[in-house]
Amino acid sequence: MILSPRFDEALVYASQLHREQLRKGSETPYIAHLLSVAALVLENGADEDEAIAALLHDVVEDQGGRPRLDEIRQRFGPRVAEIVEGCTDSDTTPKPPWRERKERYIAHLAEASPSVLLVCCADKVHNARSIVADHRRRGEQVWQLFKGGKEGTLWYYREVLAALRQRPTPPALVEQLADAVAELEQSTHHAPRDDASSHGA
């Protein structure tokens, strides 16, 4: 597949909207996460709409709520907007309580489209890998960055993995998530180094 100028437009749009946003507890520009998710979906058979949605999957949640979704629909079409909406656990400010949001999102995966499952899985793969890397550098203090704390975060990733295994999600990508979640669980039992840096999910 050859990507069209629509993908270029989405990349610039995502970069502009997230320009002032960093990964949790770090100096890493947020666009690094979006590029990683887009790469993962493309490596697992995504079409252009799915790749664009991967770039934009956090826009509604982090950069403007429902009005941004309407803007995405106008600029990139209804299918991209539908995928982005399916990857969004909240479009309001303030957000509902963390556990409530996450339980609702997990339940939603039972009926989400294959395109939503693809982007969701790629998102969680990159986030879990980032937490593993951060835990190795920062140790247990990394959990202070997450509303769910250590136990809540581990619970969430286990449940998302279980939900995705029951749905038509690319098997190779699901296994990448399984590996990342297993490594995340194992890393919590090892002594960390003392470097300072972090990304979040």
Q: Which residues are catalytic?
A: 61-62
Residue the block writes with tokens 């002594």: 191
Q: How far is CA 45 from CA 58, 119, 169, in A?
A: 21, 11, 11
Distance from C-alpha of 44 to C-alpha of 51, rounded to nearest angstrom: 10
Distance from C-alpha of 72 to C-alpha of 70, rounded to nearest angstrom: 5
Note the helical H segments in the chain.
5-17, 31-43, 48-56, 59-62, 66-76, 78-86, 98-108, 114-138, 149-165, 171-187
Distance from C-alpha of 134 to C-alpha of 27, rounded to nearest angstrom: 13
Distance from C-alpha of 48 to C-alpha of 137, rounded to nearest angstrom: 36
Residue the block writes with tokens 């993962």: 40
Tokens of 113: 């489209």
CB 23 within 8 A of CB 198: yes
Distance from C-alpha of 30 to C-alpha of 15, rounded to nearest angstrom: 8
